[in-house]
Amino acid sequence: MEALTSQLEHTYINPASDLPGLGDAYERILEVVQFPILYHKEFEKLNIEAPKGMLLYGPPGVGKTRLVSTIAKQTGAALTLIQGPEIIGPYLGESEERLRTKFYEAQNKAQSNPNKASVLFIDEIDSIAPKRQPGAQGSNDSSRLVAQLLTLMDGLESRGRLVVIGATNMPNVLDPALRRPGRFDREIRIDVPNQIARREILAYYTRKMVLGAALDLDMLAEVTNGYVGADIAALCREAAMHAITARIEAAENKGNDKAGGVSEQAVVTRHDFEAAMAQLVPSTKRGLGIDVAKTTWTDIGGLDSVKLKLQQAVEWPLTRAAAMKRLGVRAPRGVLLFGPPGCSKTTLVKVIATQVRSTFFSINGAALYSPYVGDAERTLRETFQRARATSPAVIFFDEIEAMVGKRALGGAANADSVQERILSTLLNEMDGVESSDGVLVVGATNRIDMIDAALLRPGRFDHVVYVPPPDYHARKDILLINGRKMPLGSDVDIDKLASQTEGFSGADMANITREAALLALRHNIDANRVDMCHFEAALSSVQPSLKRDLMEYYNRMQSEYT
């Protein structure tokens, strides 16, 4: 590859300047396009043919189309473009005729200039060459088009210096006959860019911007996990627009109505990128994105041991990866939180969603279930595929027992139930044949005894963490946290309130604080503080939710499952 690059340096620009984060794919495509021309004598001596076809696949926005167009421009190759559905015609045989015309056009370009390659680029190839189904009705048109494409790519007539490149984001939809040597000899997967690639892409799109001194591109690359190249380009554009808008508003406030020169002086700061990130949803998260209220570890009272276990499971694989690798420790695949209702299980996951530098996906029963057979399993598979593509990632299942349930021993009455099919899919995705490294599954439940034992084994839910009800110190912390934005009277005794709330969950403690504030407003709508009498009145109206029989049940579950 170095020899090829040295021969091209005097003719073509540096690929890294135009294709940030796509260096490996660039080199592999360049071999196919240029090797048969630069080293044609070597190919003749060895009596071999260079690869004539290549399939690019990956998520939308990673740069497949840009990669091909840039290589064609840099190498001077004649580019013939087929944009998927444009060749579809309304009359019988018209689509095949248009496809043949495009192939002959590309072949004529190759024959007219033997020193340059000819590239036929089929964008969105899945739209014209879908998988043929034996005996399927109504698919004759697509079957004929697929057959014509196969004949043109691997017919009796040689394609010469013609290279066919296809691009798709759904490779499994393509007909298998296309994906064999002689047609698409090579397949290149272009994944969502990692942190290093994101740093290169950010540097490329901000190279002409005036950046603020406090803006660190390394930090920005770290927090943009899950962003593809198109997302980062849009992010930089939105940040620049935000900076220009801020400069214009500042000029208008000073009485300067002349907008000329404002854009030249605009400095893009970290604040501009944060504002852009708040508006832009990465394409890999669209359809599964959720709006999570910003929560920190200090927003949860008590639960120090639970917080430590979650930090070790979620944060250590990112912050202490070298130490874990040195000792040969594998990151956990899953963490299951169980405990009484209202004891901050979901709030702990909110902290993970907002504090950890991972892509976060949330799945609940309403989003998963569908009236169509197989839809729920497909949604689950696609979520894991997105999570693997944007790893490190966290997938959260709230009320997981309602989605997967527990299989009956020795019974086959519900063998075709939706719950069992979802459970089977989840078992395979968490610890099946396909690797799920970099994906952490977090589940929350109140009924751990209703979860299938296969999910609770090591390798799936490695850590089963009991979230206990708040003790005295935790209840005191919860009261302080809920009352920190509330003007409290001097007579409010937090220690006394914590001792009087035995059996109250974290949600009950928050309810007491809220009820005390409402009682203060009921007594006097102009009240400016909440006194001890209001808390005592709230205690008389709010009942504890953690009854004795309920706690006996959870004590048994704790001894059995932890």
The 3-class SS string of 394-459 reads EEEEECHHHHHCCCCCCCCCCCCCHHHHHHHHHHHHHHCCCCCCCEEEEEEECCHHHCCHHHCCCC
pLDDT digits (tens, 9 = 90+) for 172-213: 888 888 888 878 888 888 888 888 888 888 988 888 888 888
Q: What is the CA radius of gyration of the chain?
A: 30
Its pTM surpasses 0.75: no
pLDDT digits (tens, 9 = 90+) for 439-487: 888 888 888 888 888 888 888 888 888 888 888 888 888 888 888 878 8
Residues of the chain with CATH 1.10.8.60: 195-285, 472-545
* pLDDT reading at 134 higher than 50: yes
| Residue of 503, 480, 462, 482 lying closest to 343 (CA atoms) | 503
Strand-by-strand arrangement of the 334-338 sheet: 359-363, 393-398, 439-445, 334-338, 463-466
**End-to-end Cα distance, the chain:** 56
CB atoms within 10 A of CB 440: 24
| Residue of 4, 90, 79, 78 lying closest to 39 (CA atoms) | 4
**Options 3.40.50.300, 1.10.10.410, 1.20.1560.10, 3.30.450.20; which CATH number does 1-189 get?**
3.40.50.300
Residues of the chain with CATH 3.40.50.300: 1-189, 297-466
Distance (Å, rounded) from C-alpha 199 to C-alpha 319?
Answer: 19
CB atoms within 10 A of CB 43: 14
Distance (Å, rounded) from C-alpha 165 to C-alpha 228?
Answer: 21
| Residue of 303, 301, 329 lying closest to 316 (CA atoms) | 329
> What is the CATH number assigned to the segment(s) 297-466?
3.40.50.300
> What is the CATH number assigned to the segment(s) 472-545?
1.10.8.60
Q: 162 and 50 in contact (C-beta within 8 Å)? A: no
Q: Supply 287's token pair.
A: 């359809």
Q: 537 and 516 in contact (C-beta within 8 Å)? A: yes
> Does CATH place domain 195-285 in 1.10.8.60?
yes
Distance (Å, rounded) from C-alpha 510 to C-alpha 501?
Answer: 12
Higher pLDDT, 146 or 359: 146
Torsion (CA) 367, 370, 374, 375 in degrees, nearest 10: -50
As a whole-number percent, the residues of the chain with pLDDT over 90 amount to 0
Question: pLDDT value at position 436?
Answer: 66
Distance (Å, rounded) from C-alpha 128 to C-alpha 166?
Answer: 11
